[in-house]
Amino acid sequence: MTEASSPEPADPSSAVPFVTPLPPAGLSKVLGLLEILDDHGGREDIYKLARELRDSFGELIIIIKAAEILDLVETPGGDLVMLPLGKQVIELPVNEKKKIISRQVAKLSLIRHMTDFLRAREGQQATRQEVLDELARTLPTERPKPQFEALVNWGRYSELMTFSRDEDVLRIAQKAV
Amino acid sequence: MLLKLENVSKIYDTDGRPSTILADLNCAIDSNQFVCIVGPSGCGKSTTLRLINGLMVPSVGQVVFKDKPLTGINMQCAMVFQNFALLPWLTVMQNVTLGLEARGLNANDATKKAAVYIDKVGLDGFESAYPRELSGGMKQRVGLARALAVEPELLLMDEPFSSLDPLTSINLREELLDIWADANLAVSTVIMVTHIIEEAVELADRVILIAGRPGRIVADIEVTMPRPRHKNSEAFTRHVDAIFSLMAECC
Ligand SMILES: Nc1ncnc2c1ncn2[C@@H]1O[C@H](COP(=O)(O)OP(=O)(O)OP(=O)(O)O)[C@@H](O)[C@H]1O
Ligand SMILES: [Mg+2]
């Protein structure tokens, strides 16, 4: 499940590229998951964690999925296991944590495809509807709205994209140009 | 001594009848401490914070901040709230600059300073977002950035994690400790209200237990475990149990 490291070129214009959807999980929760896993010595049964968190099993799975595609954890046989990068992240101060997570986010195929898509456009920007259309085209089996929200959230967090609700426009962040 | 409560009592007027909410609080809090106030619902924890930041005046006794009796709002304090208390029609940046402009900074300086603290709490990239676009964790980061931006010596927090889901709350508690330990920040001392004993034992150097009607300080417990503190350790459980049994005795 090392989606973050698969290097495939994204072609925003024509052919439908191979991209993987974003798990619609907030990154604060991913960081919290690493903390709790560390409290459990870096390895724990996923079902046990779900019970301890009194969290709906479904949501925890999405958060775990997010941590997994960011190469922070792995999930052999129903366990959640910390990877070295995950361990490194929890030992860093707030800012440094964010840098590493951002670097991982930037490698994801959907993030790469959407930054290419925006960069290829005039003003490096697109309206919400244009982004939703592109998401529907590249991820025909996913609901575009949650993907859009995750894209905005992870794009902002990694400082690759900004979204203006006033204008309803997603654009490449100035810092990322 | 950073802060002292001297014989502080608070009497509210409820339906024309005076009722004593807090009675005879005495305590002294040093700089560089992380203090948690715990106690059952309605015992006067939030009222205690309001007395400390000067939003409310004691009916009896006084609050002394750096050797001076407090008169009016304490400008060296900032507060973080359970419900975030953000203005929904303002962006993240505007929510943070608001308090700075209220303290007399011009718009330019306020923006610069706000940017520093937005960065400190890991909110870079969210400057132009509105509160409703944010998760609870990100909203509370805004609350924290807004409080830190006024560069208070004393940070007051009223159940700042209790409306967050467990994972977000774990993450923010960890980051709060980082921020408190950061010598480059003005904040030296944190007083946090919580009703979760594990949370107090995880974070605090000292846990003050308020209980009873009227609320009194019934215990004042030092927590000397080194950080980071692991919830599954024996020492951790021992501390939690000790506070629980004190609470059972007093309430
Ligand atoms: N403005 C007020 N006027 C009259 N009574 C009040 C006022 N504010 C609070 N009280 C009462 O004072 C008591 C203490 O309130 P306070 O909010 O300080 O408690 P608390 O420990 O923070 O409770 P909780 O755990 O529910 O947040 C409560 O019984 C409350 O009803
Ligand atoms: Mg309260």
Q: Taking each helix axis from N to C terminus, what angle separates B166-181 and A94-107, rounded to the nearest 10 degrees? A: 130
Q: A34 and A76: one domain?
A: yes
Could you tell me if A39 lies within 8 Å of chain B, comparing CB atoms? yes
Q: Where does the pLDDT of residue B37 fall: very low under 50, low under 70, confident under 90, or very high at 90 and above?
A: very high
Q: What percent of chain B has pLDDT over 90?
A: 90
Predicted complex ipTM: 0.89
Once rounded to an integer, what is the mean pLDDT over residues A152-175?
94
* Residues written for chain A: 177
Distances in Å between the Cα of B240 and the Cα atoms of B34, B200, B221, B244 are: 17, 9, 11, 6
Nearest residue of A to residue B231, measured between CA atoms = A39
At A117-150, the pLDDT tens digits run 999 999 999 999 999 999 999 999 999 999 999 9
Residue A127's CATH number: 1.10.10
pLDDT exceeds 70 at position B238: yes
Tell whether the model's pLDDT for residue B183 goes beyond 90. no
Q: What is the mean pLDDT of residues B23-47?
A: 96
Atom number of ligand 1 nearest to Cα B14? 4
**A2 within some domain:** no
Mean pLDDT score of chain A: 90
Confidence band (pLDDT; 50, 70, 90) for B30? very high
Tell whether the model's pLDDT for residue B57 goes beyond 90: yes
Q: Which of A13-17, A67-71, B92-96, B110-114 has the lowest mean pLDDT?
A: A13-17
Q: Taking a C-beta distance cutoff of 8 angstroms, is the pair B8, B60 a contact?
A: yes
My answer on whether omega of the bond before A21 falls inside 30° of 0, hence cis, is no
Average pLDDT over residues A155-163: 96
DSSP string covering A26-73, please?
-HHHHHHHHHHHHHTTTEEEHHHHHHHTT--HHHHHHHHHHHHHTTSE
Q: Are residues A88 and A112 in the same domain?
A: no
Please identify, among A92, A116, A131, the residue that sits at the C-terminal boundary of a domain: A92
pLDDT digits (tens, 9 = 90+) for B128-154: 999 999 999 999 999 999 999 999 999
Clarify whether residues A57 and A32 are in a common domain.
yes
Q: What is the pLDDT of residue A56?
A: 64
Does position A6 have pLDDT exceeding 80, yes or no?
no
Over 90: is that where the pLDDT of A10 sits? no
Q: Where are the alpha helices (DSSP H) in chain B?
A: 45-52, 92-102, 107-120, 136-149, 166-181, 197-203, 234-250
Burial class (CB in 10 A: 0-12, 13-18, 19+), B177: middle
In a domain, A52, yes or no: yes
Based on the fold, state whether residues A123 and A166 are members of the same structural domain. yes
Average pLDDT over residues B214-224: 95
CB neighbours (10 Å) of residue A4?
A: 20
Residue B179: list chain A partners with CB under 8 A: 94
Nearest CA to ligand 1 atom 6: B12
* pLDDT at residue number A138: 95
Cα B154–B158–B163 angle (5° rounding)?
A: 135
- The mean of the pLDDT values for chain B is 95
Checking if the pLDDT of A45 tops 90, the result is yes
Ligand with smallest separation from the Cα of B210: 1
Look at residue B43 and give its three-state secondary structure.
coil
Residues with C-beta atoms within 5 A of ion ligand 2: B 46
The verdict on whether omega for the bond into residue B214 sits within 30 degrees of 0, i.e. cis, is yes
* Mean pLDDT along residues A17-41: 94
- Going A19 to A21 to A26 to A31, the CA torsion angle's sign is negative
Instruction: Work out the percent of chain A whose per-residue pLDDT is above 70.
Output: 89
B166–A contact, CB cutoff 8 A: yes
Are A119 and A67 within one domain? no
Same domain (yes/no): A168, A113:
yes
Ligand located closest to B47 CA:
1
Q: Does A174 touch chain B (CB under 8 A)?
A: no
Task: Please enumerate in sequence order all residues whose Cβ is within 8 A of that of B71, keeping only pairs 6 or more positions apart, or say none.
Answer: B54
Query: Are residues A87 and A122 located together in one domain of the fold?
Result: no
Q: Report in angstroms the alpha-carbon separations of B163 from A24, B8, B136, B196.
A: 20, 30, 8, 12
Is A33 domain-assigned? yes
Q: For residues B205 and B34, is the Cβ–Cβ distance under 8 A?
A: yes
Q: What is the pLDDT of residue B251?
A: 65
Q: Is B49 on the interface with A (CB under 8 A)?
A: no
Judge whether A16 lies within some domain: no
Q: Is the pLDDT of residue A4 over 90?
A: no
| Nearest ligand 1 atom to alpha carbon B193 | 22
Vertex A110: Cα angle to A109 and A115 (nearest 5): 100
Statement: residue A3 has pLDDT above 60: no
E-assigned strands of chain A? 43-45, 73-74, 79-82, 125-127, 161-164, 169-172
For residue B22, count other CB atoms closer than 10 A to its CB. 27
Verify that A67 and A127 share a domain, yes or no. no
CATH of the domain at A40: 1.10.10.10
Residue A10, domain member (yes or no): no
| Residue A175 pLDDT exceeds 80 | no
Give residue A13's pLDDT band: very low, low, confident or very high (50, 70, 90): low
Pocket test for ligand 1, best of B19, B22, B43 (most atoms within 8 A of CB): B43
A34 and A81 belong to one structural domain? yes
Assigned domain for A77 exists: yes
Query: Quick one: average pLDDT of A146-158?
Result: 96
Q: Is the CB of residue A157 less than 8 Å away from at least one CB of chain B?
A: yes
**CA B61 to centroid of chain Cα atoms:** 22
Is the per-residue pLDDT at A74 higher than 90? Answer: yes
B135: helix, strand or coil: coil
Judgement on whether residues A113 and A172 belong to the same structural domain of the protein: yes
The half-sphere exposure of B116 on its side-chain side, counting CA atoms within 13 A, is: 14
pLDDT at B214: 94
Domain that holds residue A145: 108-176
Q: Clarify whether residues A113 and A171 are in a common domain.
A: yes
pLDDT, residue A173, reads 95
Residue A45 belongs to a domain: yes
A10 and A116 in contact (C-beta within 8 Å)?
yes
- The pLDDT score that the predictor gives to residue A142 is 95
**A33: Cβ–Cβ under 8 A, 6 or more apart, which residues?**
A60, A63, A64, A67, A73, A80, B167
Looking at A92, A126, A146, which one is the last position of a domain? A92
pLDDT of residue B249: 82
What are the chain A neighbours of B130 within 8 Å (beta carbons)?
A: 165
Return the structure tokens found at B80. Answer: 């973080």
Query: What is the domain count for chain A?
Result: 2
Q: What is the reported pLDDT for B11?
A: 96
pLDDT of residue B231: 84
Query: Which candidate in A52, A156, A157, A164 is best for mutational testing of the B interface (most B CBs within 10 A)?
Result: A156
Query: Stretch B86-106: mean pLDDT, rounded?
Result: 96
Name the band, by pLDDT with cuts 50, 70 and 90, for residue A14. Answer: low
Domain boundary among A92, A116, A140: A92
DSSP 8-state class, residue B163: T
B70-95 confidence digits (pLDDT tens): 999 999 999 999 999 999 999 999 99
| CA–CA separation, A100 and A48 (whole Å) | 28
On whether residue A34 sits in a domain, the answer given is: yes
| Judgement on whether residues A37 and A67 belong to the same structural domain of the protein | yes
